């Protein structure tokens, strides 16, 4: 069995050695297609990281112009706390707000020198429960608060997340469409290069069929060849995308996303590299299966 | 060994290439298939090794009905056959040794078994000193001997030869015929398509003649004292 596997591998390698240009062509197309797919994946995954961190900030702030009695405010906070979507409600007094502001300014704290805590309003900060963290829930909570005339100065997500999610969706769709197209193109090209080697070896295929080679025996070397080319293409795609990631993507995407508070750009997560290589092998296998479909014939049609 | 019942074969367009052929070939027989060009000799052989399917009728080979054989069973039928063509059909990029080893390799035989058998067979056709050569480095007669070795290396039940001497000069033709005769003597049934009247005269055997797809005559040579298709048991291997 092992000897047989070695036999087919040897024949596949011999075929590839005998037509190096064709082999390189199919390895190259698989590599380019999968590398582009990987670029998109890197972009999508990193922007996704952004929405996750923004989602955590999904909160509603109720500004209070006139600060009533602490007891009354506590009562309000309790009322809002009963909403099922709400995780917690915190009261931030004018003083606390001012302190926070000063801290955030850091070295520029002297800008607020001479100003009193009464420049900033007090507020109730409402954060949503984990399961309810989405733009639509946010809006329904805001609607409900609006109806309550005690709270009318509200600040919340303002559609940013929605826009970002729409952008992500677009990125994902265009990435999958382009990726799908490229993978299909790679499939066709691999199929055609294998077909060319089959044409060159037609006499051999015919002779094998004539002396009693089974369909599998005749096809296997070519299937191995296709899978091997695909695996190599996948490996090349991985190398290529890592190189481009290191040289270009990390910097450009990094500076693009830095303003949004994300400071580390990640390469593909752990299982992706394996997936890329196996995917390449799969493309190659499918391509050669496609090429062989009409090639090995025992009976005239 | 081989039986045809009312076999017809029509290619996509056109008349029948074979027309209502009924024929029986016993084990160990040597049969010439003759007839003018286009009579259907090659077609009949193709039906026997399942490269074409009959349009009508049934074909039995070795007590099996091969009429509707598909890709799953054809390979195993062909392992019992030796097939030889006018143009040899050797693999140009493979050595003589590799060409003859090919059918055994396809059957998954062990390597030492292959090398022993290939050497033996090449020796029997007188080419054991050529095993490292490539087909195009050999003469036509030598190439056909390699093809014969490739057909015989599996000890086939049946040898199907389509004008095997069509491209060879008379002397080389005799060499090939000697190889066929000794294979026949060892029990291989042989069906050989040929135009060569001299050859038939020199080695008289049963003759099946086709004409425009129909069976014209099916005769033993007259001087053997029998006619018709009965009683061919004495044919085996005798000159
Ligand atoms: N693949 C094919 N497609 C269509 N017609 C074919 C095909 N092969 C053979 N024929 C036709 O079938 C008929 C018989 O052909 P076949 O090759 O069997 O003749 P043959 O007796 O072997 O002739 P030759 O002595 O010239 O080799 C011919 O009319 C031929 O044109
Ligand atoms: Mg012919």
The reply to whether ligand 1 has any atom less than 6 angstroms from the CB of B47 is: no
SS3 letters for chain A? CHHHHHHHHHHHHHHHHHCHHHHHHHHHHHHHHHHHHHHHHHHHHHHHHHHHHHHHCCEEEEEECCCCCHHHHHHHHHHHHCCCCEEEEEEECHHHHHHHHHHHHHHHHHHHCCCCHHHCCEEEEEEECHHHCCHHHHHHHHHHHHHCCCCCCEECCCCHHHHHHHHHHHHHHHHHHHHHHHHHHHHHHHHHHHHHHHHHCHHHHHHHHHCCCCHHHHHHHHHHHHHHHHHHHHHHHHHHHHHHHHHHHHHHHHHHHHCCCCCCCCCCCCHHHHHHHHHHHHHHHHHHHHHHCCCCCCCCC
> Contact B47/B53 with Cβ under 8 angstroms?
yes
Give the pLDDT score at A250.
Answer: 73
Q: Do A300 and B51 touch (CB under 8 A)?
A: yes
Give the pLDDT score at B234.
Answer: 41
Q: By the CB < 8 Å criterion, does A206 face chain B?
A: yes
Which residues of chain A fall short of a pLDDT of 50?
none
Give the pLDDT score at A262.
Answer: 60
Domain boundaries, given as residue ranges, for chain B = 1-80+156-239, 91-147
- Which chain A residues touch B83 with a CB distance below 8 Å? 210-211
The CATH code belonging to domain B1-80+156-239 is 3.40.50.300
- Which chain A residues touch B79 with a CB distance below 8 Å? 211-212
CA atoms within 13 A on the CB side of A165: 12
The reply to whether ligand 1 has any atom less than 6 angstroms from the CB of B40 is: yes
Backbone angles phi, psi at A151, to 5 degrees: -115, 110
Q: Do B53 and A300 touch (CB under 8 A)?
A: yes
Whole-number Å distance, alpha carbon A159 to ligand 1 midpoint, is 78
Give the pLDDT score at A105.
Answer: 66
ipTM score: 0.82
The reply to whether ligand 1 has any atom less than 6 angstroms from the CB of B15 is: no
Domain boundaries, given as residue ranges, for chain A = 2-53+161-292, 59-156
Our CA-based measurement puts residue B157 at a distance from the nearest CA of chain A, in whole angstroms, of 13
Judged by CB atoms within 8 Å, which residues 56-85 of B form the interface with A? 69-72, 74-79, 81, 83
> Contact A22/A191 with Cβ under 8 angstroms?
no
Give the pLDDT score at A53.
Answer: 62
Q: How far apart are CA A4 and CA A135, in angstroms?
A: 60
| Cross-strand pairs, B9 | B18
Q: Is the pTM of this model over 0.90?
A: no
The reply to whether ligand 1 has any atom less than 6 angstroms from the CB of B76 is: no
- Which chain B residues touch A293 with a CB distance below 8 Å? none
- Which chain B residues touch A207 with a CB distance below 8 Å? 89, 91, 102
**Contacting residues for B231 by C-beta, under 8 A, at least 6 apart:** none
Among B21, B42, B216, say which to mutate for ligand 1: greatest number of ligand atoms within 8 Å of CB.
B42
For chains A and B, what is the number of CB pairs under 8 angstroms?
63
Q: Give tens-digit pLDDT for B119-175.
A: 999 999 999 999 999 999 999 999 999 999 999 999 999 999 999 998 888 888 998
**A59-156: CATH topology:** Alpha-Beta Plaits (3.30.70)
Using CB atoms within 10 A of its CB, is residue A222 exposed (0-12), middle (13-18) or buried (19+)? buried
Query: Which among B45, B20, B52, B14 has a CA at the least distance from the CA of B214?
Result: B20
CA-nearest residue to A203 within chain B is: B91
Q: Do B78 and A211 touch (CB under 8 A)?
A: yes
Whose alpha carbon is nearest atom 29 of ligand 1?
B38
Atom number in ligand 1 closest to CA B43? 18
Q: How far apart are CA B58 and CA B98, in angstroms?
A: 36
Q: By the CB < 8 Å criterion, does A220 face chain B?
A: no
Query: What is the block-wise mean pLDDT of chain B (239 residues), using blocks of 10 residues?
Result: 94 87 94 94 95 94 92 93 92 92 90 94 93 94 94 95 90 91 94 92 92 88 47 43
Nearest bound ligand to CA B216? 1
Whole-number Å distance, alpha carbon B15 to ligand 1 midpoint, is 11
Q: Do B53 and A213 touch (CB under 8 A)?
A: no
Q: How far apart are CA A108 and CA A98, in angstroms?
A: 14
Biggest distance spanned by C-alpha atoms of chain A: 100
**Contacting residues for B229 by C-beta, under 8 A, at least 6 apart:** B24, B206, B218, B220
CA-nearest residue to A301 within chain B is: B52
């Amino acid at each position: 069995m092992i000897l047989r596997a070695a036999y087919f591998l040897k024949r596949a390698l011999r075929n590839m050695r005998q037509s190096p240009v064709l082999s390189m062509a199919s390895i190259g197309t698989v590599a380019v297609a999968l590398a582009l797919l990987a670029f998109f994946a890197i972009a999508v995954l990193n922007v996704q990281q952004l929405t996750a961190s923004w989602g955590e900030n999904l909160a509603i702030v109720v500004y209070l112009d006139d600060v009533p009695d602490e007891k009354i405010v506590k009562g309000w906070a309790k009322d809002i706390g009963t909403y099922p979507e709400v995780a917690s409600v915190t009261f931030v007094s004018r003083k606390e707000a001012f302190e926070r502001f000063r801290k955030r300014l850091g070295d520029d704290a002297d800008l607020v020198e001479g100003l009193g805590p009464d420049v900033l309003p007090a507020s109730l900060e409402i954060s949503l429960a984990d399961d309810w963290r989405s733009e639509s829930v946010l809006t329904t909570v805001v609607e409900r608060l609006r109806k309550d005339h005690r709270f009318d100065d509200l600040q919340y997500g303002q559609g940013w997340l929605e826009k970002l999610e729409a952008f992500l969706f677009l990125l994902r769709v265009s990435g999958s469409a382009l990726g799908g197209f490229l993978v299909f193109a790679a499939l066709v090209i691999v199929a055609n290069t294998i077909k060319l080697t089959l044409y060159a070896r037609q006499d051999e295929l015919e002779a094998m069929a004539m002396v009693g080679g089974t369909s599998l025996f005749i096809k296997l070397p070519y299937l191995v060849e296709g899978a091997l080319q695909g695996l190599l293409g996948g490996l090349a795609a991985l190398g290529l995308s890592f190189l481009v990631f290191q040289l270009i993507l990390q910097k450009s995407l990094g500076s693009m996303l830095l303003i949004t508070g994300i400071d580390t750009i990640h390469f593909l997560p752990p299982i992706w590299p394996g997936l890329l290589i196996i995917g390449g092998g799969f493309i190659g296998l499918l391509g050669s299966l496609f090429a062989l479909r009409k090639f090995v014939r025992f009976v005239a049609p | 060994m081989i039986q045809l019942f009312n076999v017809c074969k029509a290619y996509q367009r056109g008349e029948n290439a074979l027309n209502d052929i009924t024929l029986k070939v016993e084990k160990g027989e040597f049969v010439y298939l003759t007839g003018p060009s286009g009579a259907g000799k090659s077609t009949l052989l193709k039906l026997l090794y399942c490269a074409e399917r009959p349009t009508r009728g049934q074909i039995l080979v070795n007590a099996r009905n091969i009429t509707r054989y598909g890709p799953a069973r054809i390979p195993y039928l062909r392992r019992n056959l030796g097939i030889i063509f006018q143009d040899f059909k050797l693999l140009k990029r493979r050595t003589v040794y590799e060409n003859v080893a090919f059918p055994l390799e396809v059957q998954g035989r062990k390597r030492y078994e292959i090398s022993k058998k290939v050497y033996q067979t090449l020796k029997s056709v007188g080419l054991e000193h050529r095993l490292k050569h490539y087909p195009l480095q050999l003469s036509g007669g030598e190439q056909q001997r390699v093809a014969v070795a490739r057909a015989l290396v599996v000890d086939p039940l049946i040898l199907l030869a389509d004008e095997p001497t069509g491209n060879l000069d008379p002397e080389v033709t005799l060499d090939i015929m000697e190889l066929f005769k000794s294979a026949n003597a060892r029990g291989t049934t042989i069906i050989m398509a040929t135009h060569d009247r001299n050859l038939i005269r020199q080695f008289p055997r049963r003759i099946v003649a086709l004409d425009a797809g129909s069976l014209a005559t099916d005769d033993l040579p007259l001087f053997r004292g029998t006619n018709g298709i009965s009683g061919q048991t004495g044919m085996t291997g005798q000159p």
